[in-house]
Structure 1
Amino acid sequence: MTIATYSVHPTPIGEALLVTTEAGLVALSVLDGPAYAEVARLSMLLHAVPTPDDGPSADVTVELDEYFAGTRQVFTVPLDWRLTAGFTRRALEAIVEIPYGETASYAEIAVAAGSARAHRAVGTACARTPWSIVLPAHRVIRSDGSLGEYGGRPEHKRFLLDLEERAVGSTGRA
């Protein structure tokens, strides 16, 4: 039986819903509506109703705050992959490998995931990732260098890429 808890944490791009299980972070969504609606959606997927977390998931919130402060480049919180499978999972596993401050095209991720012609499926995987921010789908761009979508919020994608670019620039890393 799955036991899940949730909390809401403020970020510069909006309130983030964090859902954890005994295996790790199962979902992180930047909310564009009430938290209860996203909790209800995740309840159906998890076959369990997440309960409010008395103290927000400390590791996740600390790492998120460090990321937005420009001091964290790699998330170390364990991810619970139960909501992903097949090509979507392979694409998301490839996206995790994109270094901080860098980007890769949808086509490059398709190749890395083992299906060179599946660039549109990579876009779908990015749109459906259970982990916004922590899994860096914002680092996946179009082959022509344009940003593409980010859950209908390209301004969030631009914000995250700019944040990483500034942080890399301030450390002198190439």
Structure 2
Amino acid sequence: MSSRASRSPRSVVAAVLLVSAAAAVAAGVVVGTTTVLVATGVYAVVAGVVATLVTRSQVRAVRRQWAGDRALQASAYRDRVKARSQEQIAFAEDMAAKVAARQARVERLEAAIAAAERRRDELGQSLADEQERAAALEAELQQLRQALAASEAAEKRARAELVAWESEATRTA
């Protein structure tokens, strides 16, 4: 809206009254009689008062119109601010939900990591136990091999003794 108000018929009427009052006073001065001067003076005062009342009503109307425009602007601004506030609240709620979802995901991942670390420790312990058992079995196997080798050596000696005994028995026989 423009800050300059358009001319209204009231403004034109007030201007015509003031111009006619000035013309009447000028005519009264030209005529120069007291009666005409008094009559034109009274007419000028009455025309001035009427012009002032008409102008005052016009100013009131313009002020009411401007106040209405300001009220409409304030209402539109209030609606924009309300909508913007609602958008900001929705955005904040959306961000809070996203943050909560990510936090929950982080917590789940941390729990999964902790479980995996516990499982790794358990498997590490199981591996250590199995390595100890394998070492014990390896030592036992080594002992069995040595015992087998000793048994085979003893068997060879026993055969050799048996062969020697049989050969001596066949010679003596």
Q: TM-score per shorter chain, which class?
A: under 0.3
TM-score, length basis structure 2: 0.18
Q: Which has the higher contact order (CA 8 A, sep 6+)?
A: 1
Q: Which has the higher helix share?
A: 2
* TM value normalised by structure 1: 0.18
Structure having the higher strand fraction is: 1
